[in-house]
Structure 1
Amino acid sequence: MKAITLTDSQDPTSLALAETPTPELRDGEVLVKVHAAGVNRGDLLQAKGHYPPPPGASEIIGLECSGVIEDPGTTDRDRGEKVACLLAGGGYADYVAVPEGQLLPIPEGYSFTEAASIVEVACTVWSNLGMLAGLKEGQTVLIHGGAGGIGTFAIQLCKQLGANVAVTAGTSEKLETCRELGADILINYREQDFSEELKGRCDVILDIMGAKYLRQNLRSLAEDGQLIIIGLQGGVKTEINLGALLPRRLSVRGTTLRARSVEGKAEVVRSTAEHVWPLLADARISHHIHTVLPLSEAAQAHALLGSGEVTGKIVLEVDA
């Protein structure tokens, strides 16, 4: 099969199609013929050598895809079944082996390309804001990077949960996109201090920045507020006054989806299918695709995502 590989381990932009062995199935896995694969920041980090796959997972980049079951292996699935897949790796390829518990149906009315754009974001947002934080109607949630792949999905889901949604973004155009998706409070982080705007008001914060925003995030939290850190784009180390947490009973929680066990991912997928997929089927939540490129242009896709100019998701079409 063909897959995207790094031709130079010292150059994260050296992504090119190459012949690689077709995955061998383990017990409980199916072989999926990939039609489309979503592009995520974790993919960029892996190409740079900073986000290796879990032990035993494919070394090929790609955390989500959609396609057709080619070989059901030892499972009871059907050959030819259309599926969307949450992956620990392997999506940038013709074929990928997927544990059965990480398969989702294609949302009603969605193409393969559209389905590949929402698996990772849907599972990430729901597992953190729905399953972990238990976001409730009437609460205020702050979403950093509101115009990105995670953000554009999170805004819509949070509005469906009845939350008041604040977002940060770096341009008026991106903030306008957030407003159109339902965001209530728009903050340009280049011009405004979000902690001044939201001091003591946020019940939940979904953070992709890490160290850079930690103090401001804590200042923004309401009593019993939860800070959920899912990314470290702003660094990994900083100092805080722990005394700021105790009087307001604040929680700081760090999570990642990729490192979960197969059983843990299966539970996330099951819950996402139950609670989020119906919202996609009747268009209460929609995908937000920035652009679509052929798999052979994975390097260009990574460069575009890394530029900061993307609103929503980039998708690679494998059979374009």
Structure 2
Amino acid sequence: MSTGTMRAAVLTRAGGPDVLTLDRVLTPIPAAGEVLVRVCAFGLNNAEVLQRRGAMPPPDSGIPGLECSGVVAATGPGVTGWKPGDRVAALARCGTYAEYVAVPGGACMRVPDGLDLAVAAAAPEAAATAWWNLVCRGRIRAGERVLIHGAAGGVGSLAVQLARRLGAYVVGTARGDQKTALCAGLGCHEVIDYGSVDVFDTVSENFDVILDNQGGPAIAANVSVLAPFGRLIIVGVQAGGPGRLDAAVLMARAAEVSSSSLGRLDDVVREQICREVEQQVLPRLADGAIRVVVDRRFAFEDIVGAHERFSAPDRVGKVLVTVTDDI
């Protein structure tokens, strides 16, 4: 069976943004349990930049992409609950830099009518990361103090809003006036500009939950400001992976350090996260209670420009790429 060809942004080698080229490739055929999504738009993520640079292995197909929005084009054998034409956002393992992508049916989330389909493309990875790590791993509770590093980024900006809705006292970190103002507008009770002060010298009280995107080098400093029974959750290694942790300090606080990568979770766990995001987050995006911060939108033909913008120091929130305007 053949479904023809489609446009896709393909990695041909490691390098700068210009190694991404638009090619025609075979359109995927949904296997058992899979849904074929006609892509409206997709968001960019740090993992895709690392793949492009050669710091992470590229997908076997050569087509990056961890999230998208669109409509169901076809379903594979055994799929129930989805039909052609359904509006969906999808949390993929790869392949969303294309006109079509095949993903497990459980990785699709129904997009409410009130939510712009293109904007929904920016939600899956960030919302799943924020929800899984704040609610499931961090066990955040009303009244707790929460520190969110990189609060102006794609994950951080959603995490700030979710933490506020869950009743936490939220402190965010960001760099520069524009980003700190954004964080305040999103609901941070306090914002620390790490470009002008040392975050850990500035905080006056310890935190019950810390969401960290920096990784190893910041572990010891983060643990030093954990409250008794506090939880440090590592969601990124932008500053590098290796770090030192004094187990005695951790034990003295009866504290926890956890980490996770959505890409390394099995399909069953990812499906459960998608169901919770579908029920708890997407409706709030649709009714305006929370919002996805979109830095800029690019046409598919300017995928190189989108990658350049993603790495710009003044970028906030998500960078979106629109594949088609006729859905």
**TM-score, scaled to structure 1:** 0.95
Q: C-alpha distance in 2, partners of 1:6/1:282?
A: 37
C-alpha deviation, 1:10, in angstroms: 4.5
Give the 5 Å matches for 1:3-18. 3-11=8-16, 13-18=18-23
Q: Which is worse superposed, 205-214 or 274-283?
A: 274-283
Can you list the C-alpha shifts for 1:182-232, whole angstroms capped at 9, x where unaligned?
001111112222222236511111111012211211111111111111100
C-alpha deviation, 1:160, in angstroms: 0.3
Give the 5 Å matches for 1:121-270. 121-198=126-203, 201-270=206-275
Q: Which amino acid aligns with 1:215?
A: A
Q: C-alpha distance in 2, partners of 1:214/1:193?
A: 15
Q: C-alpha distance in 1, partners of 2:68/2:57?
A: 18
1:276 aligns with: 281
Q: C-alpha distance in 1, partners of 2:143/2:67?
A: 32
Q: Which is worse superposed, 274-283 or 182-191?
A: 274-283
Q: Which runs of 5+ in 1 are unaligned?
A: none
Q: Which amino acid aligns with 1:196?
A: D
Q: C-alpha distance in 2, partners of 1:10/1:197?
A: 39
Q: How many residues align?
A: 318
Q: C-alpha distance in 1, partners of 2:85/2:278?
A: 20
Give the 5 Å matches for 1:19-58. 19-52=24-57
Q: C-alpha distance in 1, partners of 2:17/2:177?
A: 31
Tell me: CA distance 1:10–1:43, structure 2 relative to 1, closer, same or farther (3 Å). Answer: closer
- Say yes or no: does 1:89 pair with 2:127: no
2:3 aligns with: none
Tell me: CA distance 1:11–1:156, structure 2 relative to 1, closer, same or farther (3 Å). Answer: closer
**TM-score, scaled to structure 2:** 0.93
C-alpha deviation, 1:171, in angstroms: 0.4
Kindly indicate whether the alpha-carbon contact (under 8 Å) linking 1:13 and 1:47 is maintained by their aligned counterparts in 2: no
Q: Which amino acid aligns with 1:226?
A: R
Q: C-alpha distance in 2, partners of 1:11/1:125?
A: 29
Kindly indicate whether the alpha-carbon contact (under 8 Å) linking 2:11 and 2:64 is maintained by their aligned counterparts in 1: no
Kindly indicate whether the alpha-carbon contact (under 8 Å) linking 2:218 and 2:243 is maintained by their aligned counterparts in 1: no
Q: C-alpha distance in 1, partners of 2:284/2:191?
A: 24
C-alpha deviation, 1:11, in angstroms: 4.5
1:72 aligns with: 75
Q: Secondary structure at the match of 1:225?
A: strand
Can you list the C-alpha shifts for 1:233-275, whole angstroms capped at 9, x where unaligned?
1011122322111110111111111111111110110122222
Can you list the C-alpha shifts for 1:125-159, whole angstroms capped at 9, x where unaligned?
00110112111100011111111111111111111
Q: C-alpha distance in 2, partners of 1:11/1:41?
A: 14
Can you list the C-alpha shifts for 1:91-137, whole angstroms capped at 9, x where unaligned?
10010001000111113311221110111111110011011211110
Q: C-alpha distance in 2, partners of 1:200/1:219?
A: 11
Q: C-alpha distance in 1, partners of 2:112/2:315?
A: 24
C-alpha deviation, 1:284, in angstroms: 1.0
